[in-house]
Amino acid sequence: MIAEDYGKIDLHLHLDGSLSAETVLKLARKEHIELPADTAERLRPYLTARADCRDLNEYLRCFDLPLAVLQTAANLEEAAYELGKELGEKGICYAEIRFAPQLHSRQGLTQEEAVRAVLDGLGRAMEDCEGRISLKAILCCMRRDKKHAAGGTKGNDDQADPDIGNASYAANNIETIHMAAKYLGRGVVAADLAGAEGLYPTRDHEEEFTLARQLGVPFTIHAGEADGPESIWKALEFGAARIGHGVRAIEDEKLMDELARRGIPLEMCPSSNLQTKAVGSLKDYPLRDYLNRGIRLTVNSDNMTVSDTWAGKEFALLSREYGLTEEEAVRLLNYAKEAAFEMQQE
Ligand SMILES: [Zn+2]
């Protein structure tokens, strides 16, 4: 089996970071949105992080254009459909696609309308692929600073965020958890926490995940990517069933033991981890250290367009530059099968 063939499952894949340049162009034209380039080739540099990208904050700026075109139900449906179809064509058989419903409300779309649009698009893609692929959704809450998280009042002197106007960030995250509960088992499989981890710590988001636990919504949390081991400890304390990235667990022996003992899968995304500087080079990638300790690792793309990759390409990269063996690849793929939220809900 060639390395790329191990890319059958993607558990960590953002919708907005995975739209092809062609899709962004098509959706922008429909809405008469002006873009900085008018061909896919010229648009691509705006959507893909440079190899020498400075950090997670710079990486996150590549999401501006895709988000600008994903503000109507029709465009969200089509984006989810195009992505699902592309995954099917690549031979992926199971993917969990994540997005933050609250980031699609600039033109008045409700979170529920955004969720339904994405589920419709994924459903249409599955039909087109005639059962060769199963596509599920993960709903992301967004990291915000304490001032915003605590504020529920309108106006104040806070700058209005283009994504959510003056609404309370905390209230939006709470609504996202309620949406995840409502659509759990109907296309949605879990919740998540995304955004700039280095700026907004995990510890400020206890309320969201206390509610998720109460409502029986499983969740993963981006942790140990831009922030250190304490972020992962917090995510575990909240009850995360999986950890997004978790590359910085390597700094804490006790934490690695805990992840192994509890069988908490890590959703690793090598290319993205290099771009956001979560690791310096693939030689320092903690993959083998984790596997040897019995930590359940999975390999994922994070953002197919921003990181110019897909799950199969990540396996090929690891095989070429890290010396990943067949045996290790099989183990990673098996861990991914077992870590799938769909699997845990059956
Ligand atoms: Zn991510």
Share of the chain above pLDDT 90, in %: 81
How high is the pLDDT of residue 343? 79
Among candidates 273, 346, 284, which has minimal Cα distance to 321?
A: 284
Tell me how far the alpha carbon of residue 28 lies from the centroid of ligand 1, in angstroms.
Answer: 24
How high is the pLDDT of residue 163? 52
- At residue 161, does pLDDT exceed 70? no
Q: Can you give the pTM of this predicted structure?
A: 0.93
Tell me how far the alpha carbon of residue 155 lies from the centroid of ligand 1, in angstroms.
Answer: 31
Distance, CA of 285 to chain centre: 20
- At residue 149, does pLDDT exceed 50? no
Tell me how far the alpha carbon of residue 56 lies from the centroid of ligand 1, in angstroms.
Answer: 10
The SS3 of residue 19 is coil
How high is the pLDDT of residue 170? 87
Mean per-residue pLDDT for 219-233? 95
How high is the pLDDT of residue 51? 78
Tell me how far the alpha carbon of residue 70 lies from the centroid of ligand 1, in angstroms.
Answer: 18
Tell me how far the alpha carbon of residue 140 lies from the centroid of ligand 1, in angstroms.
Answer: 10
Tell me how far the alpha carbon of residue 158 lies from the centroid of ligand 1, in angstroms.
Answer: 27
Give the burial class of 155: count Cβ atoms within 10 A of its Cβ; 0-12 exposed, 13-18 middle, 19 or more buried: exposed
Q: Poorest-confidence range of 9-18, 54-63, 153-162?
A: 153-162
**Hey, what are 323's tokens?**
């010396």
Report the distance separating Cα 154 and Cα 91, nearest Å.
47
Enumerate domains of the chain plus CATH numbers.
Answer: 4-345 (3.20.20.140)
Mean per-residue pLDDT for 319-325? 94
Mean per-residue pLDDT for 249-264? 97
The two counts, helices (H) then strands (E), for the chain are 16, 8
Give the burial class of 162: count Cβ atoms within 10 A of its Cβ; 0-12 exposed, 13-18 middle, 19 or more buried: exposed
How high is the pLDDT of residue 53? 82
Buried b (16+ CB within 10 A) or exposed e, 266-284: bbbbbbbbbbbbbbeebee
Distance, CA of 124 to chain centre: 21
Q: At 166, is the pLDDT very low, low, confident or very high (cuts 50, 70, 90)?
A: very low
Q: Poorest-confidence range of 47-51, 105-109, 310-314?
A: 47-51
- Contact present, 132 and 172 (Cβ < 8 Å): no
Give the burial class of 236: count Cβ atoms within 10 A of its Cβ; 0-12 exposed, 13-18 middle, 19 or more buried: middle
Tell me the β-bridge partners of 190: 138
- At residue 339, does pLDDT exceed 90? yes
**Hey, what are 67's tokens?**
């988000």
Q: Poorest-confidence range of 1-5, 243-247, 337-341?
A: 1-5
Mean per-residue pLDDT for 25-35? 95
- At residue 154, does pLDDT exceed 80? no
- Contact present, 1 and 330 (Cβ < 8 Å): no
Task: Give me the helices (H) in the chain, please.
Answer: 21-30, 40-47, 56-60, 64-69, 73-89, 111-128, 146-150, 169-183, 206-215, 229-238, 253-262, 270-275, 287-292, 311-321, 326-339, 341-345
How high is the pLDDT of residue 144? 81
Q: At 186, is the pLDDT very low, low, confident or very high (cuts 50, 70, 90)?
A: very high
How high is the pLDDT of residue 151? 34
Q: What is the pLDDT of residues 267-313, one digit of tens each?
A: 999 999 998 888 889 988 999 999 999 999 999 999 999 999 999 99
**Count of CB atoms within 10 A of residue 313's CB?**
19
How high is the pLDDT of residue 150? 36
Q: Poorest-confidence range of 49-53, 85-89, 93-97, 119-123?
A: 49-53
Tell me how far the alpha carbon of residue 14 lies from the centroid of ligand 1, in angstroms.
Answer: 6
**Hey, what are 7's tokens?**
């890319």
Q: What is the mean pLDDT of the chain?
A: 91
Q: Which element (helix H / strand E) includes 296?
A: none
Q: Which element (helix H / strand E) includes 201?
A: none
Q: Poorest-confidence range of 75-79, 225-229, 294-298?
A: 225-229
How high is the pLDDT of residue 129? 93
Largest Cα–Cα separation, the chain: 59
> What is the side-by-side strand order in the sheet with 242-245?
220-223, 242-245, 266-268, 297-299
Annotated catalytic sites, by residue? Answer: 225
- At residue 252, does pLDDT exceed 60? yes
Share of the chain above pLDDT 70, in %: 93
- Contact present, 196 and 60 (Cβ < 8 Å): yes
